[in-house]
Structure 1
């Protein structure tokens, strides 16, 4: 019986083809599973940031994201946020860049930061809009400027609580930036405050001064919803029709507000009126 051996070249070709198929398959599996990078995907980083913002808003008793037809969230960080104010429109130019990635909540848009080791997220809320900052390392800067435009002409820093009022050309504010907050990855408070210069609002996050765990999340949050309610309550309770700016001068701190109400209404009336105002605003 004659035994015919396969040609050696055919055997080598089969071997090469088999090795190639194995290599291609392995590469495909690596690409699908993402194990080659060994790092979180951009989507994972976006979700992590969104969760950090949620944790921060809970600690600060701030507003959760919600659809708001009066806020235009840009698809690119190079464009401005457009938000309605009381009697006007405010634009907010954030220190962000690049096309945003949308988180699973379909409300949070995360962009790259113009500044080193930082990112910016924009969320509409029921009463305004939030522009959150992610500080990813100790190499990131401490100052994050937000340039306001549209009808915004003047910023007033409230020395009592660190919040900022935004005015147009008149004495009525267009809206308000809530008191700033910042937390590290372990939930510890990071010192932060606002500074104003013209129509630029800068959030300063003093993360280099302490032993903090990165990432750190901070936020400027714009709102305008409660300003009309604030004036309405004071008019009904105190019989006053004043500009909001004048009211703020009278009640810019709890101590000043209490003394003003006692002088106006007496102790009983002040307690009754103050309780009603707090119930509506909180």
Structure 2
């Protein structure tokens, strides 16, 4: 069985700088939390390089909580709780694969990351990114792992999942507004070779299929990424932005554009105007991201709302 090409080398090196908390022994044929994390680091190091620096802590049912630019994200202690995403005006719960049998979260000292052992040869590794997106890596340990990974969504009235020509998926409101977005899926084996993968949508459930062959080198990593497209800033956020409006660099914290890392951040005139209006009228600001498919032409619009 071609269980893990990287287990003997990368796992040891990566684990030297990683401490596990609340981790129980793995099931047979499962990867340990450190091995799963090492697999993600090997295949897609940017996932761990771009995690949030300082999560807000934990709660009774939260293994990890973070607030990033108006978006509150919670990773559950038990996978059955699902990932909760709140933007002030909208809430979404993203269910996790095999949550009914997964072990509780193994927290690692990589900020914003936890690991769930699904006890079937796969692990789920959600990572909160510094731009407010969530990368939910699935690590397949060996050929005995499933090829199907379901993400049931707790959608609001009239909301639906819409497949796009580029194989990405939008979360769409009843009025047609795009509330969130799942990037097109990808999967790679331990040698970096692409593994056939695609999304299927049935009702409120998004499924990622990973069609590996006997030639694949394990472990395999697959990665759905979710981005929030509509954020409503609270009155407290508006007042904080108002106070900082003359220090444009600080505004970056409140504008989690998916491509912030590739552009010079400054407070757009439209945002400054909306913040000023909301300050004087004691209202909130709603930011809507419009994705043209490329960084240079994507943009935000801002509206003042009650």
TM-score range, shorter chain: 0.5 to 0.7
Question: Judging changes above 3 Å, is the alpha-carbon distance between structure 1 residues 276 and 100 closer, same or farther for their aligned structure 2 residues?
Answer: closer
> Which residue of structure 2 aligns with residue 272 of structure 1?
none
More helix by share: 1
> Which residue of structure 1 aligns with residue 161 of structure 2?
155
Distance 1:191 1:220 in 2: 14
Query: Quick one: which of 203, 222, 227 aligns to 1:223?
Result: 227
Distance 1:105 1:123 in 2: 9
Q: Which blocks of at least 5 consecutive residues in structure 1 are unaligned?
A: 1-40, 236-243, 255-274
> Which residue of structure 1 aligns with residue 281 of structure 2?
none
Q: Which blocks of at least 5 consecutive residues in structure 2 are unaligned?
A: 1-24, 56-65, 232-254, 259-267, 271-287, 301-306
For each residue in 1:13-62, what CA deviation from the matched residue of structure 2 results, as whole angstroms up to 9, or x when unmatched? Answer: xxxxxxxxxxxxxxxxxxxxxxxxxxxx65x8212222322344347x89
For the 8 Å contact 1:83–1:128, the answer to whether it is kept is no
> Which residue of structure 2 aligns with residue 65 of structure 1?
51
Distance 1:201 1:63 in 2: 26
> Which residue of structure 2 aligns with residue 34 of structure 1?
none
Question: Judging changes above 3 Å, is the alpha-carbon distance between structure 1 residues 64 and 141 closer, same or farther for their aligned structure 2 residues?
Answer: same
CA RMSD in angstroms comes to: 3.7
1:113 aligns with 2:113: no
Number of aligned pairs? 204
Question: What displacement does 1:171 show?
Answer: 1.2
Question: What displacement does 1:132 show?
Answer: 1.4
Question: Judging changes above 3 Å, is the alpha-carbon distance between structure 1 residues 86 and 217 closer, same or farther for their aligned structure 2 residues?
Answer: farther
SS of corresponding position for 1:91 = strand
Under a length normalisation based on structure 1, what TM-score does the superposition of the two structures give?
0.61
More relative contact order, 1 or 2 (CA 8 Å, 6+ apart):
2
Distance 1:202 1:86 in 2: 27
1:77 aligns with 2:79: yes
For the 8 Å contact 1:186–1:213, the answer to whether it is kept is yes
The structure having more radius of gyration, on CA atoms, is 1
Question: What displacement does 1:112 show?
Answer: 2.1
Question: What displacement does 1:202 show?
Answer: 0.5
SS of corresponding position for 1:214 = coil
SS of corresponding position for 1:72 = strand
SS of corresponding position for 1:78 = helix
1:1-16 equivalent positions in 2, closer than 5 A: none
1:124 aligns with 2:144: no
SS of corresponding position for 1:73 = strand
For the 8 Å contact 1:157–1:165, the answer to whether it is kept is yes
Query: Quick one: which of 181, 189, 199 aligns to 1:184?
Result: 189
Question: What displacement does 1:177 show?
Answer: 0.6
For the 8 Å contact 2:155–2:204, the answer to whether it is kept is no
1:277 aligns with 2:282: no
Distance 2:149 2:298 in 1: 32
For each residue in 1:83-128, what CA deviation from the matched residue of structure 2 results, as whole angstroms up to 9, or x when unmatched? Answer: 13584111011013221111221422111226x3211112111222
> Which residue of structure 2 aligns with residue 269 of structure 1?
none
> Which residue of structure 2 aligns with residue 89 of structure 1?
91
SS of corresponding position for 2:81 = coil
1:135 aligns with 2:137: no
Distance 1:276 1:181 in 2: 23
SS of corresponding position for 1:213 = coil
Question: Judging changes above 3 Å, is the alpha-carbon distance between structure 1 residues 62 and 181 closer, same or farther for their aligned structure 2 residues?
Answer: farther
Distance 1:186 1:168 in 2: 40
